[in-house]
Homo-oligomer: A and B are copies of this chain.
Amino acid sequence: MNEKKKYTDQQLRLAQVAKALGHPARIAILDFLASLDHCYFGDIHDELPISKATVSQHLKELKDAGLIQGEIETPKVKYCLNRENWQQARSVFATFFREPSCKTGRCK
């Protein structure tokens, strides 16, 4: 048994999402995906100054964090935001930055 507290689920999820956002390439990908309904791998690659292998890797991380989803449309791969988890992330951050008194009390 540990003597000190571990982290809450909220803290773990927030850290997980923040980590996924912790690279400019991934931010650029999300900015891009948020600006349209969907697009293909090549479109994303064209937006970024890195190799396709690296883009693919960043996309995988975003997918693992639940922020985006990909779907094969042979011969292309279609990507889009996972809008549901995107809103969840938004709310997790909003809560984090909210005044502490609002988290516990009667703050709308």
Give the B-binding residues of A (Cβ under 8 A). 2-7, 11-12, 14-15, 18-19, 21-28, 30-31, 34-35, 46-49, 86, 89-90, 93-94, 96-97, 100
Smallest Cβ-Cβ distance to A89: which chain B residue: B97
- The secondary-structure label for the interface of chain A is helix
CB distance from A59 to the nearest CB of B (A): 16
Whether B5 lies near A27 (C-beta < 8 A) is: no
CB distance from A34 to the nearest CB of B (A): 5
Q: Which of B19, B21, B86 is in CB contact (< 8 Å) with A14?
A: B21
Query: Known contacts A2-B49, A89-B97: does B27 contact A7 (CB below 8 Å)?
Result: yes
Query: Known contacts A27-B18, A35-B100: does B89 contact A4 (CB below 8 Å)?
Result: no
